[in-house]
Chain A
């Protein structure tokens, strides 16, 4: 039911994440970051998120690209729930009817 490699990965993930949670409080509470370090810290989450979903932007399937375009537009003006629903529905429909 629990694979050892999976368990190790999960425990490592949990440890690393908890470090990020307490790290800002411990290290940064009495310090002022340089402008440059602040810029890098602020860009980091977006850089990681866009990198993870980058394959969707270069899909060879027109149905996927069309659905991504619609999802992108939805994400710029709607909140989480409707955007997710629109993304899933458009991907499902386009794959069914186009390819």
Chain B
């Protein structure tokens, strides 16, 4: 352990600050796409009765945008605690694969650094950190994963997300009913773009179609928020059954 720690990038002190800055800079274009829907999430949350303290608490402790959009979408007063926790788990279950993909690059780092760093794992910090590690690996740089670069990108993302969701919550009451302006269409828009990013093939997307049809039918005929769980579970069952074809 002491040997691997001695080879960490911070041992080369001159490079650590610029590595952090490099991470922040690479995250800036991503923020252009993030800030508008952080504001929308904040505005939508106030419509559901969350305060300008509660929402940043959610985005600051949870820091996973997709699950926060889903939670706000399903929010009632009082909230269905178990349903929202379960949906949060399902929406964020992709983190398992992301963490697994990153794991081989984290082998040289002590766990007391990996566990705090993983708190800031989001789609963006993961994509930037992994892409950078793969690039450095092919350039022959060891260790390939740059913790400072990752933390630069992740903290820029974190501060922007928490800050602008809070700003959206504060500005929300001034906007009135955001639905009348069409802001609620931001949810389908964000989710559809995220899904395009996950698109592999028509065959791989068949479980999504199963989810859509089942969720829509349950939504039309069964009151409450069961459509999310019904759609998700039937899609996963379809993926399990269809995996035999591949």
- Interface positions of A (Cβ within 8 A of B): 1-3, 5-14, 16-29, 33, 35-36, 39-58, 67-68, 71-72, 74-76, 78-81, 83-95
Contact = CB atoms under 8 A, between A and B. Distances in A.
B90 A48 contact: yes
Contacts, number: 308
A86 B185 CA distance: 9
Given A43-B239, A84-B37, A89-B182, A50 B93 contact: no
Report the 7 A-B pairs with minimum CB-CB distance, sorted nearest first: A24-B99, A51-B231, A91-B182, A47-B235, A92-B182, A87-B189, A29-B103
A23 B91 contact: no
B195 A50 contact: yes
B103 A44 contact: no
Interface in B48-63: 50-51, 53-54, 57-58, 61-63
Contacts of A84: 33, 36-37, 40, 186, 189-190, 193
B131 interface: no
A73 to B, nearest CB: 10
A1 B169 CA distance: 13
B36 A81 contact: yes
Contacts of B74: 52
A47 B228 contact: no
Contacts of B214: 51
Nearest to A14: B61
B188 A53 contact: yes
A44 B100 contact: no
Contacts of A54: 211-212, 215-216, 219, 227, 231
B220 interface: yes
Given A50-B208, A51-B212, A57-B212, A88 B183 contact: yes
Contacts of A26: 99
Contacts of B103: 24-25, 28-29
Interface of B: 32-34, 36-37, 40, 50-51, 53-54, 57-58, 61-64, 66-71, 73-74, 78-79, 81, 84-85, 87-104, 106-107, 114-115, 118-119, 121, 180-196, 198, 200, 204-205, 207-208, 210-212, 214-216, 219-220, 227-232, 235-236, 238-240, 242-244, 246
Contact of A25 (B36, B118, B198, B236): B118
Nearest to A35: B243
Given A39-B243, A43-B236, A46-B195, A16 B70 contact: no
Contact of B70 (A33, A52, A74, A86): A52
B113 to A, nearest CB: 12
B100 A88 contact: no
Nearest to A75: B192
B193 A50 contact: no
Contact of A79 (B33, B94, B188, B198): B33
A28 B94 CA distance: 13
A40 B189 contact: no
